[in-house]
Structure formats: C-alpha cells, structure tokens
Amino acid sequence: MVCEAKHSDEELAEMTQQEVFPERVADVLALEEVAIELEAEGIVETVGIDPISGQRRRRLTAKGRERAELEAQAEDATKH
C-alpha cells in the first residue's frame, strides 16, 4: 500500500504504534532518555544495535558496576 503523504514504512509503523499503544511508546521513550543520561554519566555503554528494532544494546561499565555494588551495600546496611 502506498502512503499519499509519502511516509516511509518505518514512519508509518511508528505512527501506528503511537496511536494504538500510546502508553507503551511513552514508556519506551522515557526509558531511552534515562539510558542516554546513564551513558552520558559513564554508567552504561553501548555495545551494539539490535538489527531488527534498531535499539541500542547497553551494558554496565566498571563505574556502573561499582555504583551498583555501593548501592547494594548501602541498602544492606539499612536493613540491619
């Protein structure tokens, strides 16, 4: 089917998702924003891009692992 407004298939898919699943789209965009902030802080790093969804694959950096360990220790200390 041809779009009269000349939207690409990707644009049409995104528009459909926003119309059908607005809360899910908003959640995904919010999570992506947080991930970008964490990457800017050096907590996570991009290790690849999913070829199907186009989303970035991320992992914790050494700084991120250290921060997670410190937070776990602090949480453990407050339990006692």
Cβ neighbour number for residue 12 with a 10 Å cutoff: 13
- Largest distance between two CA atoms of the chain: 65
Q: What is the pLDDT of residues 17-68, one digit of tens each?
A: 778 777 887 888 899 999 999 999 999 999 999 998 888 999 999 999 999 9
Q: What is the model's pTM?
A: 0.63
Handedness of CA 65, 67, 71, 73 (dihedral sign): positive
